[in-house]
Chains A and B, each alone.
Chain A
Amino acid sequence: MRMLWGAALAAGLGLGVAAATALALEGDPAAGEARYAENCVNCHGRTGRGMASFPSIQGRDAEFIVDRLLSYRAREMVGANSALMFSLSEELTDQQIVDLAAFISTAFP
């Protein structure tokens, strides 16, 4: 299954140009799952519930995930784990961000 979000939806959510661009891409949950296993699972866990001082991402929709990852990639502080997220998001492409959003929003409802 592949997922598509349109730029119009992004604009309607008040997201920036970058978010709108990213959301215009099709998200591939399978690719997102592979990226999640590489970059995310060791803090957010196998079920996305969070561990230790790392937050749960269960129940987050795709728009939220895209917006947060774009914020971190742009070096915008969002909470105490921002340094770690800056590092992890800096080389993510728009496509990889949308893939992650597609996986997280469907795998951890």
Chain B
Amino acid sequence: MNRQIIPWSLCAAVAAGGLTGLSIGAAAASTPSLTSSTVLSDLQDPWDMAFLPDGTMFFTEKCRGLSVRHENGDVAHLLGMEGTDGFAETAEDLFCDGQAGMLGVAVDPEFDDNRFVYIYSASRLSEPGSNRVVRMVVNEDLTGVSDRTDIIDDIPYKPQASDHPFGDSGAHNGGRIRFNPGSGNLYVTTGDTHAGHVPQSGTELGGKVLRVDRNGNAAEGNAPPEGFDARIYTYGHRNVQGIAFRPGDHTAVISEHGPWHTDEINVLFAGANSGWDPRPNMAGRGDCPDDYCGYSPNQMEGMDPAERAAWMPMTDFETYPDAMAPAWENNQLSQGISGMAYLAGDQWGDWEDMLVVGYMGIGFGGTPVGQRIDLMDVAEDGSSAEASEFPLPMGSGRFRSLVMGPDGALYVALDEGEIHRISVE
């Protein structure tokens, strides 16, 4: 498909004037006019959403729990975390701490038959805490959950603070969970927990993309190196908070946070190594604070991102010549790349089947903050991508999650406590 890529400067100028409810005219004849509305507000760090075909929307709040917005707009609070009230059920082992908490949510592809919903959350059921994928059964009137089964209970959680930027406990959990519409397998993205050895470890599940069935067993076709946990689909990741499946062949595509440099988009294949290895005394590096070189060599001060990338690369081709090359590298900037989705439906015009990627925004050492949504056209072979800025019909914010709704609209969750619906006029 011949796509219209809108110049960055034009989009930035359009987006700068955007407010909720404001329509943005088509920047080119082949691109749609957009409008937006606020679906929910006054939430506490909304992290993810998942839809039923009728528009029912499950959503998580990082420190509160799982709720559902019914088709008529009513909200029912299903599963609360420790210290919460107002939920039908409370799981006192589920907790939030820094970046950790209740993160991703997914609905089973066969929900009509099994009524399974899944969440990714930090739990104290095992010491020193872990991240888990929890499956539950939702009742018929969508007001409660039961039959909790922790289908994965051994994803690392960072229990202690360390000497790093954002070094509090609870850092780098990944946390997005999505079913592949082709295979029906569940993909689980995880983070490196600020532990240098974790991403390249074959037995620790941090810094990975896992691929499992609905019971948490390794999916057929996983091909990790010998000795690795069979649930590992890809490894050598830093902190993966976005995953979507390419229309047509359902190939998994992810977004990966960079460390003061180089957010990445990667097109995955079974057994791939994404090349992140923040261990000390590797690739010419010496010791690093608390055995994690992820922000080195100058973790507290600004530095040319290119120099930093050369010293501590997101994808280390020298150590791992066969590492999976990223399709896109955000101009070597780290800007909090997060949730992503493919635009579905011909109402999107030339943007149909394009990837949209959200950024929470972060500026360090003079780099631009970069809160935005990008439109991306990722090459079929995964070797490259063209990016342009999506013209927001609303104000900007920390774009945590992007999900296509069954109504053909794009739903976006902002850390500001809001979920918005962006649609084509």
User: In the complex, which residues 221-246 of chain B have their Cβ closer than 8 Å to any Cβ of chain A?
Assistant: none
The 0/1 profile, CB within 8 Å of A marked 1, for residues 398-425 of chain B is 1010000000000000011100000000
Task: Give the residue of A49, A51, A84, A88 whose beta carbon is less than 8 angstroms from that of B398.
Answer: A51
> Considering the chains assembled together, what is the distance between the CA atoms of A42 and B363 in angstroms?
9
B76 near A: Cβ within 8 Å?
no
Q: Which secondary structure characterizes the binding site on chain B? A: loop
Which chain B residue shows the least CB distance to A91? B366
Does residue A93 face the partner (Cβ distance < 8 Å to B)? no
- Give the residues from 44 to 77 in chain A that come closer than 8 angstroms, CB to CB, to chain B: 45-46, 49, 51-53, 75
> How many Å lie between the Cα of A34 and that of B162 in the bound state?
34
CB-defined contacts of B165 to chain A, threshold 8 Å: 80-84
CB-based contact B398/A82 at 8 Å: no
Whether a CB of chain A sits under 8 angstroms from the CB of B143 is no
Other-chain contact of A46, B365, B400, B416 (Cβ < 8 Å): B416
B356 to chain A, nearest CB (A): 19
Is A86 in the interface zone, CB < 8 Å from B? yes
Interface status of A87 (Cβ within 8 A of chain B): yes
Give chain A nearest CB distance to B280 CB in angstroms.
19
The reply on B301 being an interface residue by CB < 8 A is yes
Chain A residues closer than 8 Å to B21, beta-carbon distance: none
Docked-complex contact B364 and A83, CB < 8 angstroms: yes
| B366 surroundings in chain A (CB, below 8 A) | 87
Q: Give CA–CA (A79, B300) in the complex, Å.
A: 13
On whether the beta carbons of B168 and A80 are closer than 8 Å, the reply is yes
Contact with A along B135-171 (1 / 0, CB 8 A): 0000000000000000000000000010011111011
Task: Please give, as numbers and ranges, the residues of chain B lying within 8 Å of A80 by CB-CB distance.
Answer: 98, 161, 164-168
A53 with B364: CB separation less than 8 A:
no
> B90 CB to closest chain A CB, in angstroms?
23
Instruction: Kindly provide the distance from the CB of B208 to the nearest chain A CB, expressed in whole angstroms.
Output: 22
Among B165, B171, B299, residue most surrounded by chain A Cβ atoms (within 10 Å)? B165
A79–B98 Cα gap in the complex (Å)?
12
Contact A87 B398 (CB under 8 A): no
In the assembly, what is the distance between CA of A42 and CA of B168, in Å? 20
For the complex with contacts A52-B99, A80-B168, A87-B302, 13 further pairs of A-B residues with Cβ separation under 8 Å are: A42-B363, A45-B416, A51-B398, A52-B45, A52-B360, A75-B300, A80-B161, A83-B166, A83-B299, A83-B301, A83-B364, A87-B364, A87-B366
Closest 4 CB pairs of A and B: A51-B415, A83-B165, A80-B168, A83-B300
